[in-house]
Structure 1
Amino acid sequence: MSGGDAGADISAADRYRAPALDKGLDILEVLASHVGGLTRAEIGRELGLSASQLYRMLERLVARGYVARVGGGDRYTLSMKMFVLATRHPPFRRLTAQAQPMLDEFAAEMNQSCHLVVPDHGTGLIIAQASPVSHWEYRARVGAQMDLFSTGSGLTLLACQHPDRSVETLGQWGIASAEDRLRQVAPELRAIRAAGYRMAPSMQIVGVTDISVPVRGPDQDAVAVVTCAHLEHPDAPRQDLHGEILERLKRLTDALSLPIAPGR
């Protein structure tokens, strides 16, 4: 193989490497997975780097406000700056601002919690949530990520994409080579697509029924999903609560959905 051919085989990811930036991002990612924070030595072990290699990078992250020292010592944790930046992202901010009052109204009316999920970097990201006014509650956490292939919200996002564009769409979401995974859940995706929603037992918690309805963009693909993780109350009237919740969610998501683009 000629030198020119070898150069052509270099991937874009390798060609445009920025080692210092990569190191900083690695630090942020490893801290995000440890709630109690890590010492410099522990970060080094996680990343295979020496404490001296991390020193300047950690100091800059602290100075810029992305990382904080716990108690002023040698243990580091993420600050709230990442969360603040994420919530400033215009599409999320607009959708959250519009959806939150509707979610709050739903939670109060139906006495059930609900949450709003969008696709983000290969996962589903919870960007808004509402709970009923009660002495107890079950709720999803804002900022939590969920697997698209094993949650009601994720499967609804996947199902409510045009089949001809689904692989391309997942690539844009950060999921490459998705054909095999889509084939594994194809029957369920077809059922959700035909119904226009998903209502089924939660795949995470026994006794919870997930009711998920898509928020649609102008091309009618799902841009978000609102899910009610329905819990049955002992004193609730015996009636079709699932059906009532589904109809209420449909009205909510219709109000959030964008008008159909001309020619659709």
Structure 2
Amino acid sequence: MSDDDRYRAPALDKGLDILELLAGIDGGLTQAEIGKRLDRSPNEFYRMLDRLQKRGYVTRLEGDRFALTLKLFGISQLHPPTRRLVSYATPLMRELAIRTRQANQLTVFDRGQVVVIAQQEAPGYWGISVRVGSHISLYDTGSGHVLLAFSTEEQRRVMVAENPLDAGREMPPSLASRLDRIREQGYESMPSAQTAGVFNLSAPVMAGDGAAIAALTVPYLPLVNVPDAPDLSDCTHMLLDTCRTLSSMAGAGVETG
């Protein structure tokens, strides 16, 4: 008996086979298709698919198709690369706050939710602060819009299906068309749906594959008592510059905007 066979764990192998298969499929597969692809009886996968679905690793789409969720991606966020992202971003976020005189926050899509992973306060008396660890909506925030816009159609469907804050809410048709415009111009600019008088500026931090790994947002608050404060247009350019730098550090080598 070889060393490879001596410590076999058939159930674990079966689960990993499913995850590895679905990772390379857009649109998901039915149980029968999974069995065919893996050259096994579909009945062998019923219990495994049930457990993977209950544990949040796969989701069931229309037509009884199973697709990989972003839970594995969420788990990877706990890995040192995410901590490195925050460590890279922190000085850039601090500089951005000083230059814009506005607060800013960094968000990622983590295990079904948009989560704030870093926050930089405004340098003056006034600014909008969002607590690190806060969960925010995909549909009603600039960060959510950017993360949706810079994702594939398949990733987008899974993100919407997984997000509990938007559970049961279909994506508004107007948002679907808006996402195309956001992707084209490279950023989102929208009035805050949560705080009157605030204008959210959000841009993506890009990975090498052209997908957003994070969104950086400036909740712009007009400073009427600071005559030389950067205006909305200036803050947008500063935000995009910061995201280009951070994307380059993340290995994207692409420009936003």
SS in 2 for 1:225: strand
Whichever of the two has the greater Rg, that structure is 1
Q: Say whether the 8 Å CA contact 2:101–2:230 is kept in structure 1.
A: no
Q: Give the aligned CA root-mean-square deviation in angstroms.
A: 3.5
Q: Say whether the 8 Å CA contact 1:167–1:178 is kept in structure 2.
A: no
> Counterpart of 1:168?
155
Q: How does 1:31-180 map to 2 (within 5 A)?
A: 89-161=79-151, 165-168=152-155, 170-171=157-158, 175=162
> Counterpart of 1:246?
236
Q: Say whether the 8 Å CA contact 1:155–1:189 is kept in structure 2.
A: yes
The one-letter amino acid paired with 1:132 is: A
| Distance change >3 Å, CA 8–CA 135, structure 1 → 2 | closer
Gaps of 5+ in 2: 1-40, 56-74
Residues of 1 paired with 2:96 and 2:52: CA distance? 50
1:12 equivalent to 2:49? Answer: yes
| Distance change >3 Å, CA 197–CA 8, structure 1 → 2 | closer
Residues of 2 paired with 1:16 and 1:88: CA distance? 21
Residues of 1 paired with 2:223 and 2:253: CA distance? 41
Gaps of 5+ in 1: 19-84
Which of the pair has the greater relative contact order for Cα pairs under 8 Å at 6+ separation? 2
SS in 2 for 1:132: coil
Give the superposition deviation at 1:175.
Answer: 2.8
Q: Matched residue pairs, number?
A: 190
Q: TM-score scaled to structure 1, two decimals? A: 0.61
Identity %: 28
* Deviation per residue, 1:20-57 (Å, 9 max, x gap): xxxxxxxxxxxxxxxxxxxxxxxxxxxxxxxxxxxxxx
> Counterpart of 1:203?
193
* Deviation per residue, 1:168-190 (Å, 9 max, x gap): 35537973999953756211111
* Deviation per residue, 1:97-130 (Å, 9 max, x gap): 0000111111122110000011111211111111
SS in 1 for 2:171: helix
Residues of 2 paired with 1:241 and 1:138: CA distance? 16
| Distance change >3 Å, CA 114–CA 239, structure 1 → 2 | closer
Stretch of structure 1 that moved more, 114-123 or 236-245: 236-245
| Distance change >3 Å, CA 220–CA 134, structure 1 → 2 | same
Give the superposition deviation at 1:236.
Answer: 2.9
Q: TM-score scaled to structure 2, two decimals? A: 0.63
